[in-house]
Amino acid sequence: MTKKYTCIIVDDDEIDRLTVLSFAKKFPVLDILGVFESAEDALLFIDEQKVDILFLDIDMPGLNGIEFRKKALEIPVCIFITAHPEHAVESFEIETLDFIVKPLKLDRFSQTVSRIEEFMEIKLKASLFEASIGGDTIYIKEGHEQTKVKLHEILYLEALKDYTLVITDKKRHCVLSSIGNLLKEDHFQSFIRIHRSYAVQKQFIQKINSTEIILNNNVAIPIGRSYKENLNLFS
């Protein structure tokens, strides 16, 4: 059975509302609860209904899309669809998953739906890890189960927004913690950050060149410019 996510569409332009609606209906994963021409009407609706996804215009009379999102941060996913690209930076400061510039095209909307599904799947699986007392083991909560992971078996860490993927030879785990916060933990002091999105352990490095590190399993990890000095820690 296909997992469904509830969503609403908010746009003061009728043609744009109908375009988003027609595209959304093509994807069974999207359950459209309502379509609104004003943010004020949508705000009243979400007070009574649980909504997973906002498809939201920005330039609207009265309460605009940015102001609306600030009042609805409890909704996990916000997708801005707007004719005003100058608002992109501001929008990502209020937990925006995607920003689409009009006119909306089906292939671009399809990419957004894929991004939504990936994000929601990670959100469902991820939880805070619990470090064991002593030793080099952490316990990662995944659903209702706890998985024991030995730190010396972790090949590398990969950042994914507010989450971090913990990669071993056997499995990819996900924890609800940024890579920056994770690396501050005592248990992760053996990891060295080589890129904004990656941290590795010395014992798994097979080769280092000017642009990437090759691990023992032949996985290539890019080296970020601002992290090149950290390579001295491998010598």
Local confidence pLDDT in tens for the 235 residues of the chain? 568 999 999 999 999 999 999 999 999 999 999 999 999 999 999 988 889 999 999 999 999 999 999 999 889 999 999 998 888 888 878 889 999 999 999 999 999 999 999 888 887 766 555 544 446 788 887 666 778 888 888 999 999 877 899 999 888 888 888 898 888 887 888 899 999 999 999 889 999 988 999 998 889 999 998 888 888 877 6
Measured distance CA(227)–CA(168) in Å, rounded? 23
> Which pair of tokens denotes residue 152?
């010396």
**Other CB atoms closer than 10 Å to residue 172's CB: what's the count?**
9
Domain boundaries, the chain: 5-124, 129-234
> Which pair of tokens denotes residue 147?
């998985």
Contacts of 171 (CB under 8 A, 6+ apart): 147
Measured distance CA(28)–CA(6) in Å, rounded? 11
Taking alpha carbons only, the member of 68, 76, 86, 80 closest to residue 104 is 80
Kindly tell me the burial class for residue 190, based on how many C-beta atoms sit within 10 Å of its own C-beta (0-12, 13-18, 19 or more): middle
* Residues 230/194, Cβ–Cβ less than 8 Å: yes
Q: What is the pLDDT of residue 3?
A: 81
Specify whether domain 5-124 bears CATH 3.30.1330.60: no
Residue type, 15: I
Fold of the domain built from segment(s) 129-234: OB fold (Dihydrolipoamide Acetyltransferase, E2P) (2.40.50)
Classify residue 104 by its DSSP letter: P
* Residues 224/213, Cβ–Cβ less than 8 Å: no
Kindly tell me the burial class for residue 131, based on how many C-beta atoms sit within 10 Å of its own C-beta (0-12, 13-18, 19 or more): middle
Alpha-carbon radius of gyration of the chain: 21
Q: What is the pLDDT of residue 147?
A: 82
Q: What is the pLDDT of residue 133?
A: 43
